[in-house]
């Protein structure tokens, strides 16, 4: 479901997933460098996902700016005896507007299932957070021709939490093919576009209005030298950046690429 006029309904977003990297000094430096670049609020919207321990620093440095940030995970209960877990309210308390859910590293290393992902999406929405839900196939699944089946399962699992027509989209999706994460292998722009169009189609089958409005980000070895060609695709609304988000100069070049694409829409 290609929409050649995406700029009319969907802003471009660039998100940086720092994963388990960084100490306070790094967070201060990176956040300040992004603020100093003077990004405008509209294009692109920039969202940082630091580890939990760095949220207070990001909050302190970026408070009142157009920069947004979020947690990399949350637990579905609101409070109680859940040692080691973090609730949506705790993230909100640190100024978070977003939360990453279902990243492939959590699905693979921490055995998060589609059921768990849905519980977390509902908990995030209940706390007033915008979930950024990650989906994507492994190399083996792609080679076996199962990409669409895997994505259908992952998308259909979260559809019960999708907003109603007439509202703004209440979540963001990030397509991150697992074989492209941290490997330097990127899905080609046309290959990624094909998958994004498929995913938008899955959402359209449930709710065409939200399908037009929902942001679908691409993730997996997004760098300064491939960002513009990816973000120019009609159904790719920006990127979720891992490794390259840890270097201010590289990350800012990716934001700049998004800005150029946004201006051309």
Q: Catalytic site residues? A: 103, 176
CA separation, residue 159 to residues 3, 81, 133, 240 (Å): 21, 30, 11, 21
Query: Which of these ranges, 22-30, 143-151, 159-167, 237-245, lies near ligand 13P under the rule CB under 6 A?
Result: 237-245
Query: Which of these ranges, 29-37, 111-119, 155-163, 216-224, lies near ligand 13P under the rule CB under 6 A?
Result: 216-224
**Contact yes or no for 16/47 (Cβ under 8 A):** yes
In the range 151-190, which residues lie near ligand 13P by CB under 6 A? Answer: 176, 181-182
Query: Which of these ranges, 108-116, 155-163, 195-203, 236-244, lies near ligand 13P under the rule CB under 6 A?
Result: 236-244
Chain position whose Cβ is nearest to ligand 13P: 242
Q: Does 132 bind ligand 13P (CB under 6 A)?
A: no
Residue 109: CB partners within 8 Å, gap ≥ 6?
Answer: none
- 3-state secondary structure (DSSP) of residue 210: helix
Q: Which of 151, 155, 241, 255 binds ligand 13P (CB under 6 A)?
A: 241
The residue (of 127 and 221) whose beta carbon lies closer to ligand 13P is 221
Q: Which residue has the tokens 């609020």?
A: 41
Q: Please, is 103 exposed, middle or buried when counting C-beta atoms within 10 Å of its C-beta (0-12, 13-18, 19+)?
A: buried
Question: Measured between alpha carbons, how far is 96 from 112 in angstroms, rounded to an integer?
Answer: 22
The residue (of 3 and 253) whose beta carbon lies closer to ligand 13P is 253
- 3-state secondary structure (DSSP) of residue 40: coil
Which positions lie near ligand 13P, rule CB under 6 A? 17, 103, 176, 181-182, 219-222, 240-244
């Amino acid at each position: 479901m290609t929409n050649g006029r995406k700029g009319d309904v969907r802003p471009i977003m660039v998100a940086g997933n720092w994963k388990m990297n960084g100490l306070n000094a790094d967070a201060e430096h990176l956040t300040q460098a992004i603020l100093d670049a003077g990004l405008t609020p509209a294009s692109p919207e920039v969202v940082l996902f630091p580890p939990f321990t760095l949220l207070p620093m990001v909050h302190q440095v970026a408070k009142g700016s157009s920069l947004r940030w979020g947690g990399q995970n949350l637990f579905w209960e609101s409070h109680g005896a859940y040692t080691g877990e973090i609730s949506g309210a705790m993230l909100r308390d640190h100024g978070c507007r977003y939360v990453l859910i279902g990243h492939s590293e959590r699905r693979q290393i921490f055995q998060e299932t589609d059921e768990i992902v849905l519980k977390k999406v509902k908990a995030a929405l209940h706390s007033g957070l915008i979930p950024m839900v990650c989906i994507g196939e492994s190399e083996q699944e792609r080679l076996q021709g199962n990409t669409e089946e895997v994505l259908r399962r992952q998308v259909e699992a979260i559809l019960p939490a999708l907003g109603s027509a007439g509202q703004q989209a209440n979540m963001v999706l990030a397509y991150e093919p697992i074989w492209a994460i941290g490997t330097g292998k990127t899905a080609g722009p046309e290959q990624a576009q094909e998958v994004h169009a498929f995913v938008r189609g899955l959402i359209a089958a449930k709710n065409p209005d939200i399908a037009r409005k929902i942001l679908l980000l691409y993730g997996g070895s997004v760098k300064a030298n491939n960002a513009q060609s990816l973000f120019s695709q009609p159904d790719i609304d920006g990127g979720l950046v891992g490794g390259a988000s840890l270097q201010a100069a590289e990350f800012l070049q990716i934001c700049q690429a998004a800005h150029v694409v946004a201006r051309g829409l």
